[in-house]
Amino acid sequence: MPDVIVVGAGFAGSVMARLFADDQKRVLVLEKRNHIGGNCYEEKMNGIRYHLYGPHIFHTKSELVKDFVRGYGDWYFYEHRVLGKIDGRLVPIPFNFQSIEILFSKEKAEEIKSRLLAYYEMDSKVSIMDLKNSEDAVLREFGEYVFDRVFLHYTAKQWNTDISNVDTSVINRVPVVIGYDDRYFSDAYQMMPKNGYNQIFENLLQSPLITVQLGVDAKERLQFRNGKIYYQGKEFLGHVIYTGALDALFDYHYGALPYRSLDLKFTYLDMNYYQPSAVVNYPNEEDFTRITEFKYLSREHFQKGTVILKEYPLTYDYQKKMIPYYAILNDQNLALYQKYEQEAKKYPQLILCGRLAEYKYYDMDAVILRALTMYEQIEGM
């Protein structure tokens, strides 16, 4: 028997497995897919690396996380830039002074920029909601424009609901920038793994104390009965780190937790480059939300051809074996999640970690930090 069982080999599970192994514990990792890496996993098409579950760009404010990931592979400096197709033009997103200058006449652009600077510091970031509710009529009108062109239809596509039902934290993820900073993220550390994410995961899980079993759904091996956990019929007394969906663990007993899913359409094109930046958002007319061109992310500029991805949002249905991508965070769904959480609490050895198990939106750095912090807490138990 191992000392610890980890379910899932994404960042949550792999970081946990590594930390336990470094503490001389024997770790068994069960992963139901046929690969490690969770949603950060990459494949190649005609030699070009792409992200099978959607583009993953690494960025963090945390020095701890930056130092941790650098311990498992080489990374290069990469600042992500996104364009959006607004009124037929490609403009930088988050919306900033450049976007204003492209979309408005010279006089109007000057007026908007000077009103913005009258209220906000240069290089600060403002929520679109603040602009929409501004006491200044010019800023209110500008706020309405950006809200309509950048947020309204994009949100309807992405979440299949009216924007008023979407958690404000989701809307505030893309602010308006007061100035010319056109980077998508402003974190101190922004980088991509030099040899891809797969290698980072291989290194994380590389230990004589870690056994990884692929293609194994942990549900086939683990039973949860009356506060006790059984592994293949025998009582298991160690920690079980679970990073999968919590409703699935308990057989959707209280009903399925709602998610958004995605239909990801990858295409190889026999051309050098398809678009002028790594990602172009399509907030309005098109059915897809964005196009990613992976060569920009992997820096494979020398490669012939290019791989692009169009993302079509979908309503998640676990019975159709879809992938749960984004938790739909609202009071009703969180109340449902709490029922499962109460169920999980009956098993003190069971630790829930990660974006599925905790029903949260975590970026990669946040999930790594979460795993590092949770491990400290388990050690302190």
Q: Give the residues lining the site for ligand FAD (CB under 6 A).
A: 7-13, 30-33, 38-40, 54-58, 217-219, 243-244, 325, 354-356, 362-365, 367
Q: How near is the Cβ of 21 to ligand FAD at its closest, in Å? A: 17
Closest CA to 231 of 242, 220, 241: 220
**Helix and strand tally (H, E) in the chain?**
13, 22
Nearer to ligand FAD, 147 or 296 (CB): 296
Q: How near is the Cβ of 354 to ligand FAD at its closest, in Å? A: 3
Nearer to ligand FAD, 100 or 279 (CB): 279
Q: Contact at 8 Å (CB) between 7 and 244? A: yes
DSSP state of 149: I
Amino acid at 356: L
Task: Tell me the C-alpha distance between 109 and 137, whole Å.
Answer: 15
Nearer to ligand FAD, 18 or 132 (CB): 18
Nearer to ligand FAD, 103 or 249 (CB): 249
Q: How near is the Cβ of 143 to ligand FAD at its closest, in Å? A: 27
Task: Tell me the C-alpha distance between 205 and 199, whole Å.
Answer: 10
Q: How near is the Cβ of 75 to ligand FAD at its closest, in Å? A: 13
Task: Tell me the C-alpha distance between 69 and 79, whole Å.
Answer: 17
Amino acid at 37: G
Q: How near is the Cβ of 79 to ligand FAD at its closest, in Å? A: 13
Closest CA to 179 of 132, 121, 102: 121
Cis peptide before 94 (omega within 30 of 0): yes
Nearer to ligand FAD, 244 or 283 (CB): 244
